[in-house]
């Protein structure tokens, strides 16, 4: 069996603006992996699919789609599947014809054909030469992964570097920027980062980096000029509208891990916003919880964990975050084709603030790692879930770095909540579906009136490990996933926390339903 190195992630998300921190790319002609052959990238990709993907694949179908994906960049290119052979042509000229391997599951043989044909395509016509090797590889692997599932994908070297920054952090100055009327506006400054220490503020317009004006440059290019090696100097010039002048700041890049945890006090309730799961999430959340734990007795009446819009992130962080909130017990099980994909995760006895009531808010954009935490807290009776059905990404992905420094993200295993159900495509069902309730004042009566319906729906939700598509659709319709973040979510959460008898009843609805599942 082919071997490959991988990083496990529970999900990957795309932010609406770019975080201006990470590793600096080399000039275009010297990008890592730029001179790596397309054939090497294809061989490595097929090895990973054969070894790591959650299901066996028909490599004949995969190869035909892969080559046709690359050939789609030039209309005169064509791949014909003739049964016994595969023929690659440019117009009337046959570029290559190869005998089809006897078995569609002979990954190695099909990989060699895919690699050879894609390599030939990179130089097949003037149009393909102009397209660049990276673009040909991307067209090929986009077609490959489209045949797998919606969570498997290829990231070219440029996108892969951004992905690695979001997961692991890298050298930067600690600002988040976005384009606004052809200017680059600082929207957030990370506490303790070089930008904050120097005095850069939200609202500043970045106009120059290292003596080079940035007007007219693409946002992605501007972001990359702000990134670099840890310890390297960088000069940033901003225009500050409130002062009506330009200011210059000499900085040194530091290791920047995007902040994913924030705390807001709402009276005696702590509202913790969790926006993702990267390498710094657990430690930051631990610090927040320890800060709350140090408060005088009675000062903290409850916790709202807001994971609306949280696309997920690193699997190990989802587990370690769950361990901060849950003592001794099952958190998650996973299973897949590869032996290493079959794992059981349990918490120890290191939970913080275990006796403090907790409400979790989720919506239709809460996915994967967020769903791991939400499902564990609900199944174990630690928190009440409020909001809408979540996204329903119940699979783990493995990220394989390719020879060209791109990445192949492959679905590797399915996840199961502590009660045993698999939420892939189904999502996590909140006990309090915001769309079904009028507001905090009517919540007690409405919740009691719907108690039996809630129990029945949740029992069916948790009934089996795999549901047919029509049943999934019907169940999700009971609390349709929404993308927005209504204020009513937080209002309902606060009402639950401030009414202890109501909190106890709502907590028992989910616990009883799970216990009674069919």
Tell me the pLDDT tens digit for each residue of 215-259. Answer: 989 988 898 899 888 899 999 999 999 999 999 999 999 988 888
Q: What is the pLDDT of residue 9?
A: 36
How confident is the model over 53-64, as pLDDT tens digits?
999 999 999 999
* 5 pLDDT above the threshold of 60: no
CATH 2.30.42.10 is the classification of domain 170-256: yes
Q: Where in the chain is the domain with CATH 3.90.226?
A: 261-310+320-326+352-390+427-512
- Stronger pLDDT, 165 or 264, i.e. the higher one: 264
Q: Where in the chain is the domain with CATH 2.30.42.10?
A: 170-256
Residue 343 is predicted with a pLDDT of 95
Average confidence score pLDDT of the chain: 88
> CB-based contacts of 85: which residues, under 8 Å, 6+ apart?
97, 98, 99, 100
Tokens matching residue 158 = 């440029």
- What is the number of alpha carbons within 13 Å of residue 181 lying toward its C-beta? 1
CATH of 261-310+320-326+352-390+427-512, one of 1.10.10, 3.90.226, 3.10.20, 3.40.50: 3.90.226
**pLDDT tens profile 415-474:** 999 988 899 999 999 999 999 888 899 999 988 888 888 788 888 887 766 677 888 888
Tokens of 96: 């290559």
Residue 12 in tokens: 């990957």
- Which DSSP state fits 84? S
**pLDDT single digits (tens) 80-107:** 999 999 999 999 999 999 999 999 999 9
The DSSP secondary-structure symbol of 206 reads E
**Calculated CA dihedral for residues 178, 181, 184, 187, nearest 10 degrees:** -50
What's the CA gap between 75 and 91, in Å, rounded?
A: 9
């Amino acid at each position: 069996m082919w071997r490959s190195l991988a990083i496990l992630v529970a999900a990957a998300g795309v932010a609406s603006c770019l975080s201006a921190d990470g590793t600096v790319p080399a000039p275009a002609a010297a990008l890592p992996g730029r001179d790596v052959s397309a054939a090497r990238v294809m061989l490595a990709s097929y090895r990973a699919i054969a070894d790591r993907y959650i299901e066996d694949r028909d490599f004949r179908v995969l190869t035909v789609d892969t080559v046709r994906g690359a050939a789609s960049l030039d209309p005169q290119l064509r791949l014909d599947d003739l049964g016994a052979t595969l023929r690659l042509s440019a117009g009337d000229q046959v570029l290559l014809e190869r005998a089809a391997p006897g078995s569609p599951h002979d990954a190695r043989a099909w990989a060699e054909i895919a690699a050879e044909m894609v390599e030939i395509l990179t130089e097949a016509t003037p149009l393909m030469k102009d397209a660049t090797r990276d673009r040909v590889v991307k067209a090929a692997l986009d077609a490959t992964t489209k045949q797998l599932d919606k969570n498997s994908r290829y990231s070219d070297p440029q996108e892969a570097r951004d992905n690695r920054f979001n997961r692991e952090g890298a050298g930067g100055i600690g600002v988040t920027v976005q384009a606004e009327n052809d200017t680059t506006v600082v929207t957030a400054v990370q506490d303790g980062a070089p930008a904050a220490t120097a005095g850069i503020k939200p609202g500043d317009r970045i106009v120059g980096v290292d003596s080079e004006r940035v007007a007219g440059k693409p946002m992605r290019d501007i972001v990359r000029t702000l990134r670099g090696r840890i310890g390297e100097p960088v000069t940033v010039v901003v225009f500050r509208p409130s002062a009506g002048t330009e200011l210059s700041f000499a900085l040194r890049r530091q290791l920047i891990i995007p902040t994913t945890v924030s705390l807001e006090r709402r009276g005696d309730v702590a509202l913790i916003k969790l926006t993702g799961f990267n390498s710094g999430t657990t430690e930051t959340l631990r610090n927040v919880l320890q800060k709350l734990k140090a408060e005088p007795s009675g000062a903290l009446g409850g916790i709202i964990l807001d994971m609306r819009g949280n696309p997920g992130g690193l699997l190990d962080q989802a587990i370690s975050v769950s361990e901060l909130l849950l003592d001794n017990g099952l958190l998650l099980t996973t299973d897949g084709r590869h032996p290493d994909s079959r794992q059981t995760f349990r918490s120890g006895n290191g939970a913080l603030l275990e006796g403090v009531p907790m409400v979790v808010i989720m919506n239709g954009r809460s996915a994967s790692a967020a769903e791991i935490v939400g499902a564990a807290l609900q199944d174990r009776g630690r928190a009440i879930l409020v909001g809408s059905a979540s996204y329903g990404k119940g699979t783990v992905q493995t990220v394989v770095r390719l020879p060209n420094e791109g990445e192949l993200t492959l679905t590797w295993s399915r996840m199961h909540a502590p009660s045993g159900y698999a939420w892939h495509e189904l999502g996590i069902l909140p006990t309090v579906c915001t769309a079904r309730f009028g507001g905090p004042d009517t919540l007690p009566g409405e919740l009691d009136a719907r108690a039996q319906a809630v129990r029945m729906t949740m029992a069916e939700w948790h009934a089996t490990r795999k549901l047919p598509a029509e049943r999934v659709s019907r169940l999700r319709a009971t609390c349709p996933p929404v993308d927005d973040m209504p204020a009513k979510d937080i209002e309902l959460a606060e009402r639950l926390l401030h009414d202890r008898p109501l909190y106890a009843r709502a907590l028992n609805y989910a616990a009883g339903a799970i216990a009674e599942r069919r």
